[in-house]
Chains A and B, each alone.
Chain A
Amino acid sequence: MSEPGTRAEPAAPDSPSEAVLSVRGLRAWYGTMGDPVRAVDGVSLDLRAGETVGLVGESGCGKSTLGRAMMGLLPEGTAVAGEVRYRGRDLVGLSDSELRPLRGPDLGLVFQEPMTRLDPLVTIEDHFLEALRAHESDTDTDEMRRRSLAALAGMGIPPTRFKQFPHEFSGGMRQRIMIALALVLNPKVVIADEPTTALDVIVEAQILQILADLRRNFDAALLLITHNLGIVAETCDRVAVMYAGQIVEEGNAREVFTEPAHPYTRELLRSTISLSTTGLHYIPGAPPSLVDPPNACRFHPRCPNAMQVCAQKDPIEMPPGAEAGEQREGRVLCWLHGPADEIPPGGERPLEREEIALAEEA
């Protein structure tokens, strides 16, 4: 019955040599007084130049942790395992002093709450000068100012406000300043962690436009982390769906949204509200505990298509529709997509409702 744990090779997107940032089997566990929180539990992902990848999932699924883990910015008491390849180096396991030079000019991070991300005692100008001096100490100050003003102008911030203090700007403007601050160093990879969640819809649209222009103007790889599917549909080339610390589906954004392969993705899309919504749709149950996630497929307690095997064996990553002979890009982590020869006899029987309820309680 039990087989030794040999996982099939993760069906990662083709030509890893094209990927600017390559994540393999990343795990990031938070230490607590009891058992650790397995916020990221085996994630593989590639980011390519000039491409925008959306990372979606519910709150608490580990997406922010993933972003930070990629930059080595996790708090003390967190353990990271796996591989994050950037320019031939594995970033996992590098010391802080080795990572520091990379943060900024190579890997940029845009945070969620712009209101508190700027030092209230320091002018915008000094923020920029500081960032530039930390990495390009031989650049002349005037040149630094010129570049900063250019970056700000690109965000719609007039040069007259260069010497003002953070509290003199609104939330939306501060977020634009943060983006400019990240971009002035010309990073090759930009990770945007819920950049518009704290902002109103109109400002959000502006920011998204800016981010959309990013791939055209800067050729950076952008990872857009959000729980808002609408944003992803608008701006991203590819999308990865995250659930309970794992990526359950990943592929071309348009394809995933029109033909979701994973039941979770499908349920997420159905939960979105639009003008044609007549009744609220929701996924029953609650997001799983990351300390003690459900056995095998982590979504099985809430999945309407759950089968017996889903509660017994870890699903294997496959290209979606492979069983049906389709040739789709992307990958999905779900028994519905096979491989059939890994499913034990009887495993395809649906999981009974009571069993779902029991599984939920367990």
Chain B
Amino acid sequence: MSRKGSLRTYVLTRLVLAIPTVLILLTMVFLLMRVAPGNPIQVALGGHLSQQEIDRRSAEAGYDKPILTQYVEYLGDVFTGNLGTTLTDHRTVTSIIVENGSATLELTIAAMLVALVVGLTIGILAGRFRDTPIDLGGRLFGIVVYAAPVFFVGYLLQLLFGSTLGWLPTSGRVGPVTEYELDTTTHLYLIDSLISGNFNAFEDTVLHLILPAVTLGLLVSGVLIRLVRVNLMQTMRGDYVEAARARGVRERRVVLEHAFRNALIPVVTVAGLQFAILLGGAILTEQTFNWPGLGSELVRYLNERDYIAVQGIITVFALAVVLVSLMIDLINAFIDPRVRY
């Protein structure tokens, strides 16, 4: 079977297998939202409107139907992309996902870049120079970075770079001028500002992005360091590594080409799990920096007891997890030829 062919088959198979996972997660979200007593409308608006009005709206929204019907309707809604409208401020959940989701997306991508650069570099150094001061330093860095809650790191960075040094902004995604001026087509401000040639906006966006991205990135890098180090130490003892050395291949090449690449495989797999940490960290980071992403919206709607919004956002998060997990598996198949068979 040709290399391309087997990869395609794997992709298709994997996509098909993702469906049951999605269903399970959606069911979980559905049940989680129904655990609270009283229907969402009652809980959100009770005391603000007359009971009649509440009952009317409840019936309209279908909360008096048997639970199974509601479940089926919910699934149908999700697959048609209709996630509802919020109770408290009448935005469609979809618009929330687009506007605020893109903010979260920009943040997480930037954070992953930071995490990769920091995590991989320190991880390789620590694994290669095991049991030397470099290794201990790297490990200590990894532990401390993990031990510091992401909002504390954000707070410290704000204190240092925002307040004391005054170099970087500490709040929001862009300044008020850019907010007003920028033409938001994709809602990814970095791209939008480049498209419209607005370099002031670009600079503003980047400056605002630095602190939150570094904060969130450091969090994930701590985990990456540990992973890369341990796996590198194991692969460096591998039989093929010894064989390469016996052929006189230079040590640097042995480490980077053979040991490291093989070490990446389990790291990539576990990286999928890290996405869950990334999401949790994103919520906290957004709160810390007033970043208008899905995380802050979730918190806001949760406090206002707007369950429709909460359900919609959590659904998207759950789907994102599955999507990322799928992508990780595909990347794995691309890197490791053994997986495809």
Do A and B touch, yes or no (CB under 8 Å, in the complex)?
Answer: yes
Which residues in A have some Cβ–Cβ distance to B below 8 Å?
A: 71, 73, 96, 100-105, 108-109, 111, 113, 116-122, 130-131, 134-135, 165, 167, 178, 181-182, 185
Which residues of B have CB within 8 Å of A111? Answer: 239, 242-243, 246
B300 within 8 Å of A (CB atoms): no
Q: Can you sample 7 A-B contacts with CB below 8 Å?
A: A108-B247, A117-B239, A120-B240, A121-B261, A121-B337, A130-B247, A167-B341
Question: Which of B12-20, B248-256, B290-298 lies on the face that meets chain A?
Answer: B248-256
- A121 near B336 with CB under 8 A, answer yes
B285 within 8 Å of A (CB atoms): no
- B262 near A134 with CB under 8 A, answer no
Which listed residue, A103, A116, A130, A182, touches B238 by the CB 8 Å rule?
A: A116
Q: Can you name the residue of chain B whose Cβ is closest to the Cβ of A71?
A: B246
Which residues of B have CB within 8 Å of A109? Answer: 243, 246
Which residues of A have CB within 8 Å of B239? Answer: 111, 113, 116-117
| B92 → A minimal CB distance (Å) | 46
Q: Can you name the residue of chain A whose Cβ is closest to the Cβ of B265?
A: A121
- B247 near A103 with CB under 8 A, answer yes
B244 within 8 Å of A (CB atoms): yes
Which residues of B have CB within 8 Å of A130? Answer: 244, 247, 249, 253, 257
- B243 near A120 with CB under 8 A, answer no
| A112 → B minimal CB distance (Å) | 9
Q: Can you name the residue of chain A whose Cβ is closest to the Cβ of B239?
A: A116
- B262 near A119 with CB under 8 A, answer yes
- Residue interface bits B226-249, CB-to-A below 8 A is 1, else 0: 000000000000111011111111
Which residues of B have CB within 8 Å of A119? Answer: 240, 244, 257-258, 262
| A72 → B minimal CB distance (Å) | 10
Which residues of B have CB within 8 Å of A104? Answer: 246-248
- A73 near B245 with CB under 8 A, answer yes
Q: Can you name the residue of chain A whose Cβ is closest to the Cβ of B237?
A: A75
- A167 near B240 with CB under 8 A, answer no
Q: Can you name the residue of chain B whose Cβ is closest to the Cβ of A106?
A: B248
- B249 near A131 with CB under 8 A, answer yes
Which residues of B have CB within 8 Å of A108? Answer: 246-247
Which residues of A have CB within 8 Å of B335? Answer: 121
Which residues of B have CB within 8 Å of A100? Answer: 248, 250-251
**What is the bound-complex CA distance between A122 and B337, given in angstroms?**
9
| A67 → B minimal CB distance (Å) | 10
Residue in B261, B262, B336, B337 with the greatest tally of chain A CB atoms within 10 Å? B337
Which listed residue, B240, B247, B261, touches A134 by the CB 8 Å rule?
A: B247
**What is the bound-complex CA distance between A134 and B257, given in angstroms?**
13
**What is the bound-complex CA distance between A70 and B64, given in angstroms?**
83
B338 within 8 Å of A (CB atoms): yes
- A121 near B247 with CB under 8 A, answer no
**What is the bound-complex CA distance between A135 and B245, given in angstroms?**
12
CB-CB nearest 5 A-B residue pairs? A104-B248, A103-B248, A116-B239, A109-B246, A117-B243
| A359 → B minimal CB distance (Å) | 38
**What is the bound-complex CA distance between A134 and B336, given in angstroms?**
24
- B240 near A116 with CB under 8 A, answer yes
- A73 near B261 with CB under 8 A, answer no
Which residues of A have CB within 8 Å of B244? Answer: 119, 130
- B249 near A120 with CB under 8 A, answer no
**What is the bound-complex CA distance between A82 and B337, given in angstroms?**
45
Given contacts A117-B239, A122-B257, A131-B247, list 4 more A-B pairs with CB under 8 A: A100-B248, A111-B239, A121-B337, A130-B247
**What is the bound-complex CA distance between A109 and B248, given in angstroms?**
11
Which listed residue, A113, A118, A120, touches B337 by the CB 8 Å rule?
A: A120
- A120 near B245 with CB under 8 A, answer no
- B336 near A120 with CB under 8 A, answer yes
Which residues of A have CB within 8 Å of B262? Answer: 119-121
Q: Can you name the residue of chain B whose Cβ is closest to the Cβ of A102?
A: B248
Interface members, chain B 318-341 (any A CB < 8 Å): 335-338, 341
Which residues of B have CB within 8 Å of A120? Answer: 240, 262, 336-338
| A96 → B minimal CB distance (Å) | 8
Which residues of A have CB within 8 Å of B249? Answer: 130-131, 134
Which residues of A have CB within 8 Å of B257? Answer: 119, 122, 130
Q: Can you name the residue of chain B whose Cβ is closest to the Cβ of A68?
A: B246
**What is the bound-complex CA distance between A117 and B258, given in angstroms?**
12
| B135 → A minimal CB distance (Å) | 14
**What is the bound-complex CA distance between A2 and B243, given in angstroms?**
47
**What is the bound-complex CA distance between A185 and B257, given in angstroms?**
21
| A3 → B minimal CB distance (Å) | 43
**What is the bound-complex CA distance between A96 and B246, given in angstroms?**
11
Q: Assuming the A-B contacts A116-B240, A165-B337, are A134 and B250 also in contact, with contact meaning beta carbons closer than 8 angstroms in the complex? A: yes
Q: Can you name the residue of chain B whose Cβ is closest to the Cβ of A111?
A: B243
| B4 → A minimal CB distance (Å) | 13
